[in-house]
Amino acid sequence: MHVLGILDGGAGEETVERCLDRLVSELGGRGRVGVVRYDATIADGLHMPETGPATGSDVTYELGADGDWLASGTGLSITEALDSLAIDCAYAVVVGVPSLDEPTVVVGDADSGVGDAEAGEMLAAVSGPGELEPDGVADELEDHEPYETLESLVRAVKRSPRAERAGAIATFTGRVRAKDSADDARTEALKFEKYDGVADRRMGEIREELEAREGVYEVRLHHRTGVVRDGEDIVFVVVLAGHRGEAFSTVEDGINRLKDEVPLFKKEITVEDEFWVHDRP
């Protein structure tokens, strides 16, 4: 699933909604779309919108004060909403979250301060729907890393045309470990950067080679880039196979080859320091 943010740079809610409708209409022609709106004045975490879903969307959530990026209230968080949408949607559009670490469109003044240091790349800044080029935004969005979860990848392999021959799905999930031992400085986050083009190409080659094995029907490899915080998932390997033996061995080989062969650069951010791991002896 590809995620796009929309921010109001002073154009006003009505203008933002008209731009949202144009973007969702374009994306809806390419796949299933979910919309998430954030409004801090909503107090109890989750509302289904009173005005109905965004035009052209398949699912719409409205999240409030208990559903912001870090909160854990009774409603969904932004992350939980995206995780839910990733299972069935090709696209998600998130409205009103300045710190969203995903590609973003600003409606209004690009220098209005609606974003911050953690915000994702700005794909466009427009004064209104007349300046918006939805097809161009959609094309650029698809060049960015997709948002994946273990559940979305498992769902993808289950859709394989060869799934009827499969008796096993094996998975691996790597996550950010806060400490190796009790005395270590706590790791707050890891930051990953890919060697542009090379990393994705090598990951695709590994996937093809693993899928060529006897009894292996589908393989999915996904490694996040950017900042991944303590306790969050980093990397997934999912294998659909005829039997558990092929599934388990292919998962193990998949994660080992990904770590050994895919050019990824890792910065560790602890409570005391930050450093690129490859620079350490």
Output the pLDDT for position 77.
Answer: 76
Number of C-alpha atoms within 13 angstroms, CB side, residue 14? 0
Q: Are 256 and 221 in contact (CB under 8 A)?
A: no
How far apart (Å, rounded) are the C-alpha atoms in residues 273 and 260? 26
The confidence score (pLDDT) of residue 156 equals: 96
- Asked if residue 152 lies in contact with residue 90, where contact means CB atoms within 8 angstroms, the answer is no
**For each successive 10 residues of the chain (281 residues), what is the average pLDDT?**
94 94 95 85 46 58 51 60 92 88 90 62 93 97 94 97 96 94 90 90 97 98 93 96 98 97 94 82 56
| 140, 144, 148, 152: CA torsion to nearest 10 | 40
* CA 9 distance to own-chain centroid: 24
| Predicted local confidence at residue 166, as pLDDT | 97
Measured CA to CA in angstroms, residue 61 lies from 53, 94, 150, 199 at distances of 8, 9, 22, 34
Contact 5, 122 (CB under 8 A): no
pLDDT for the residue 59: 72
pLDDT value of residue 51: 44
- The pLDDT value recorded for residue 89 is 93
CATH class belonging to 2-141: alpha beta
Question: Contact at 8 Å (CB) between 18 and 108?
Answer: no
| Pairing state between β 91-95 and 33-38 | parallel
Contacts of 123 (CB under 8 A, 6+ apart): 4, 103, 104, 105, 137, 140, 141
pLDDT for 41: 59
Which residues make up the CATH 3.40.50 domain(s) of the chain? 2-141
**pLDDT number for residue 184:** 86
pTM of the model: 0.83
Chain region(s) in the chain for CATH 3.90.1170.40: 150-279
CATH of 150-279, one of 3.30.465.10, 3.40.50.2300, 3.90.1170.40, 3.30.1330.60: 3.90.1170.40
* Closest to 225 measured CA to CA, from 273, 188, 262: 262
